[in-house]
Chains A and B, each alone.
Chain A
Amino acid sequence: MEPLPEPAGAPLAVTPAEPPAETPAETPAETPAETPADTPAETAAPAAIACRDVSFDYGSIRALADVSFTVQPGEFATLVGANGAGKSTLYALLSGLFAPGAGQVSVAGIDLRRHPTRALARLGIVFQRSTLDGDLSVRRNLRYFADLQGIPSDVARVRIDDALRRHAIADVADRRADRLSGGQRRRVELARSLLHDPTVLLMDEATAGLDGPSRRDFVAHVRSLVDALGVSVLWATHLADEVRPSDVTHLLDRGRLLAAGPLAELLERHGANDIESLTTMLRADPAGGARRS
């Protein structure tokens, strides 16, 4: 059976994360079950997320075809595609909800299929639809998640108080989750996803349902946290204005990865004005998409 995860013994601090190469769980001495293929070289940190030739079918419909990409440690990467491009399917595979028909997914160098609990311990996830328990308070929702992560009570209390302050939701801590505004719910879900101090944060259309100001505020908030915590983020969106020119962008279309790289570079290389025209261009000529290794 898969080894159980190792909960933290110390509260989360608002300081940049340690380089992943220093993490004991990734050294062979601590994890005899880990094969050399899963374990990075001592000098090189493993990719925060590595997807290799991942395919997935819904019956006879191919949802993802040979998708390969990586997200580097501390990187804010975006996964951009129109509705139906395969983003949510890809997120279901990255979070272990579905198993890929072919290919491999690893998180911080850990194969998700072979060591799911250890890989999931490194993932924080904000789903497209709210997954808060509506009839529980914000604090109780966070506590439930901390328990699921196996975090000790005393540590959980400190982290929850810290998260409530950091995400500016302390004033609604005792309010039922179904009485929160859309923006507040997203902040609670973000706070929850970071409670166990993950290496990678998956955000699947996390601004869905938010109005313009709330959306901008939320995106800025996440970006500020990335800088503070050093966590890697894979941000899925179909909204071009959520992507900065410097963001490493993975362009997904009809289940295929068309291109990957900093958005500004991609646009310049293909002479496109925006993401939509870039997609149209690359859809017609898929070989023109530059894959980022």
Chain B
Amino acid sequence: MTTHVADAPRRDRRAPFRALRGIVVREALRFVHQRGRFFSALVRPLVWLFIFAAGFRSVLGVSIIEPYSTYIRYEEYIAPGLVGMILLFNGMQSSLSMVYDRESGSMRVLLTSPMPRAWLLVCKLVAGVSVALLQVYVFLAIAWFWDVRPPLAGYVTALPALLLAGLMLGALGLALSSFIRQLENFAGVMNFVIFPMFFASSALYPLWKIEESSEWLYVLCTINPFTHAVELVRFAMYASLSLSAAAVTALFTAVFLGIALYGYDPSRGATAARARR
């Protein structure tokens, strides 16, 4: 006797988690197959750590600020910012793959599966963040040999912060991908999003330094969600919690995810608009 999937007499509450597993495994396999992506994702922050930080160490003195209890080397200061860089680039990379999947057609398999679309997008986010976390910890392991050594507990307490920051930046990428029509347009958007977000933040220099230079830039940095993601990670790496950074990061995660859900709704948002163009 044939049993139809849709006709089974009970609702299987584990079905959504199987979908999550499938999407995470697919993303992981794709990552493994694209080894260049892994190395380029690692090389980028390492170049900043090994070369940029060494060059600017004497120029950019860092006074004692929270969460640090003493003077720190510049390399130690920018490490959370470079972790944020990995998450930021990975978020954009994930959404780039969404645009690619849409162009190549494989996105259709995802969007026509019998799961709520919101859940599918969350699964894509989680899959992207899982891959990013792996990169972050490999980076931190290498940085350890470069004397970037937060307390051991920090490696554990950083995990939820990394997860939240990764979700926010992944959601931003997802939201952008829903409004980008073609792959070619993505590079431009990345330049307009990644670099301003990264440089107008506390990733490379403390906010008080920016305030000394430019008031308006300081204001811009304080409203930049990436600043809060970096600060969240920075505090967490030293086993502290910045409640304000966590709250702002969570808020922006919800906002970006909401925009993405709207954008991928077939009857509204960018999907509908794209269909009608």
Interface flag for B275 (CB, 8 Å): yes
In B25-70, which residues have CB < 8 Å from any A CB?
Answer: 25-26, 29-30, 33-34
Given contacts A16-B2, A25-B7, A57-B276, contact A97 B15 (CB under 8 A): no
CA distance A103 to B22 in the complex (A): 34
What DSSP secondary structure best describes chain B's contact surface?
Answer: helix
Instruction: List the B side residues contacting A149 at CB < 8 Å.
Output: 5, 15, 19, 113-114
Residue of A nearest to B16 (CB): A4
CA distance A52 to B112 in the complex (A): 21
Interface flag for A24 (CB, 8 Å): yes
Which of the 9-residue segments B80-88, B101-109, B161-169 touches chain A? Answer: B101-109
Sort chain A's interface into a size bin.
35 or more
Selected from B11, B19, B118, the residue in CB contact (under 8 A) with A147 is B19
**Cβ B4 vs Cβ A9 within 8 A:** no
Given contacts A8-B3, A118-B114, contact A99 B267 (CB under 8 A): yes
What DSSP secondary structure best describes chain A's contact surface?
Answer: loop
Interface flag for A182 (CB, 8 Å): no
Instruction: List the A side residues contacting B277 at CB < 8 Å.
Output: 58-59
CA distance A198 to B4 in the complex (A): 7
Interface flag for B152 (CB, 8 Å): no
Instruction: List the B side residues contacting A234 at CB < 8 Å.
Output: none
Given contacts A7-B15, A98-B272, A143-B22, contact A150 B105 (CB under 8 A): no
Residue of B nearest to A3 (CB): B11
Interface flag for A140 (CB, 8 Å): yes
CA distance A252 to B16 in the complex (A): 37
CA distance A5 to B115 in the complex (A): 7
Residue of A nearest to B265 (CB): A99
**Cβ B4 vs Cβ A8 within 8 A:** yes
Q: Which of B6, B10, B33, B276 is the most central at the interface, judged by chain A CB atoms within 10 Å of its CB?
A: B6
Q: Which of B22, B30, B116, B267 is the most central at the interface, judged by chain A CB atoms within 10 Å of its CB?
A: B22
**Cβ B11 vs Cβ A6 within 8 A:** yes
**Cβ A97 vs Cβ B114 within 8 A:** no
Q: How many A-B residue pairs have CB under 8 A?
A: 187
Instruction: List the B side residues contacting A135 at CB < 8 Å.
Output: 29-30, 33-34
**Cβ A145 vs Cβ B33 within 8 A:** no
**Cβ B114 vs Cβ A150 within 8 A:** yes
**Cβ A96 vs Cβ B115 within 8 A:** no
Given contacts A118-B114, A131-B106, A131-B109, contact A144 B26 (CB under 8 A): yes
CA distance A225 to B118 in the complex (A): 34
Selected from A97, A140, A147, the residue in CB contact (under 8 A) with B108 is A97
**Cβ A95 vs Cβ B112 within 8 A:** yes
Instruction: List the A side residues contacting B26 at CB < 8 Å.
Output: 133, 136, 144
In B231-252, which residues have CB < 8 Å from any A CB?
Answer: none
CA distance A153 to B22 in the complex (A): 11
Interface flag for A132 (CB, 8 Å): yes
Instruction: List the B side residues contacting A236 at CB < 8 Å.
Output: none
In A1-33, which residues have CB < 8 Å from any B CB?
Answer: 1-10, 12-13, 15-18, 23-26, 30
Residue of B nearest to A135 (CB): B33
Selected from B111, B115, B116, B276, the residue in CB contact (under 8 A) with A58 is B276
**Cβ A146 vs Cβ B114 within 8 A:** no
Given contacts A132-B106, A144-B25, A146-B22, contact A7 B12 (CB under 8 A): yes
CA distance A116 to B29 in the complex (A): 29
Instruction: List the A side residues contacting B113 at CB < 8 Å.
Output: 120, 145, 148-149
**Cβ A18 vs Cβ B4 within 8 A:** yes
Selected from A1, A24, A123, the residue in CB contact (under 8 A) with B112 is A123
Interface flag for A129 (CB, 8 Å): yes
Interface flag for A130 (CB, 8 Å): yes
**Cβ A24 vs Cβ B7 within 8 A:** yes
Interface flag for B134 (CB, 8 Å): no
Instruction: List the B side residues contacting A120 at CB < 8 Å.
Output: 112-114
Selected from B6, B105, B114, the residue in CB contact (under 8 A) with A131 is B105
Instruction: List the B side residues contacting A127 at CB < 8 Å.
Output: 105, 108
Other contacts beyond A6-B6, A145-B109: 17, CB < 8 A: A4-B116, A8-B5, A9-B3, A18-B4, A24-B9, A58-B277, A97-B266, A98-B266, A99-B267, A117-B116, A120-B112, A129-B104, A144-B26, A149-B114, A150-B19, A152-B18, A198-B4
List chain B positions with a Cβ less than 8 A from chain A. Answer: 1-16, 18-19, 21-23, 25-26, 29-30, 33-34, 104-106, 108-118, 266-267, 271-272, 275-277
Q: Which 7 A-B pairs have the closest CB atoms?
A: A147-B22, A150-B15, A99-B267, A23-B7, A121-B114, A148-B113, A121-B6
List chain A positions with a Cβ less than 8 A from chain B. Answer: 1-10, 12-13, 15-18, 23-26, 30, 56-59, 92, 95-99, 108, 113, 116-118, 120-123, 125, 127, 129-133, 135-136, 140, 143-153, 196-199, 229-230
29 A-B residue pairs with CB within 8 Å: A1-B118, A3-B11, A4-B12, A4-B15, A4-B115, A6-B11, A6-B15, A17-B4, A59-B277, A96-B111, A97-B112, A97-B271, A99-B272, A121-B6, A129-B104, A129-B105, A131-B109, A133-B106, A135-B29, A144-B109, A147-B19, A147-B22, A148-B19, A148-B23, A148-B110, A149-B5, A149-B19, A198-B5, A198-B6
